[in-house]
Amino acid sequence: MTLVFATNNAHKLKEVKQILPSVYAVLSLADIGCHEEIEETGETLEANSLLKAQFVSHWLQQHPYSTSIDGVFADDTGLEVVCLNNAPGVHTARFAGEPVSDQRNRAKLLQVMSAVPVNQRTARFRTVVTLIRHGQTIQVEGIVNGSIACEERGTEGFGYDSLFIPEGYNKCFAELSQEEKNSISHRGRAMQRLKETL
C-alpha cells in the first residue's frame, strides 16, 4: 500500500516510516514533486491536519503520479501546557515566531515558564492525523501526558523532545531511544490508530 504523508519534515517522515510496518510505502511531498507551501490557517489541530490532507489529495488529482497512490494522510501536533492555558497548542511549531526555529521555540518556552515550580509544569502532546482514502476522510488522535523539564536534556529527537518528560518516566523524549519514544509518543499512538484504521 502506497501512502503520501503530507510533510517535508524529515524527522516526522523518519518516525512514521519506523512506526508503520514495511507493507506501507510512505512517500513525502518531495517524493511526489509537490513543492507548494501548504498554509496552516486552521484554528485547531484537527483543522490544520485536514487542510494539509485535502490540499495534497487535490494536488494529486491535478498532477497524476506514476506510482499508484492508495491514500493521503497528514498530521498536526500541538504541545499543550496547562499553566499557559494550553499554549502553544496549534501554534507549537511557530511559538517563537518567524523564522521557524526549534531552538528558539524551546528557549521561549523555558523563558515563559522560568518561574513555574516543578509540580505545576504539566503538559501533553497531541497529534491529530487525517487520512483521505477512497473518498473517505477519517481523523485519529494520539495523546501523551507529561511535564516540561526546567532545562534541556538529551540529544535525540527534534522539536520540544529535549524538554518533554512523558508520564511515568524520569527522562525527556530526547533521552529515550527512537524505539522507546515511538512506542509511547503522541505520534506513535496516532499512527497506531491509523494503522488499525487502514
The 3-state DSSP composition of the chain as helix, strand, coil percent (nearest 5) reads 35, 25, 40
Which single residue is written with the C-alpha cell 513525502? 28
Contact between residue 5 and residue 60 where contact means Cβ atoms under 8 Å apart: no
Which of the residues 31, 70, 76, 161 is marked catalytic?
76
Q: Convert 70-109 to b/e letters by CB count within 10 Å (16 or more is b).
A: ebbbbbbbbbbbebbeebbbbebbebbeeeeebeebbeeb
Phi, psi of 61 (to 5 degrees): -65, -30
- Does 76 qualify as catalytic in the annotation? yes
- What grid cell was written down for 81? 501546557
Rounded to the nearest angstrom, the gap between the alpha carbon of residue 146 and the centroid of all alpha carbons in its chain is 16
Tell me the C-alpha distance between 119 and 142, whole Å. Answer: 24
Known catalytic residues are 76
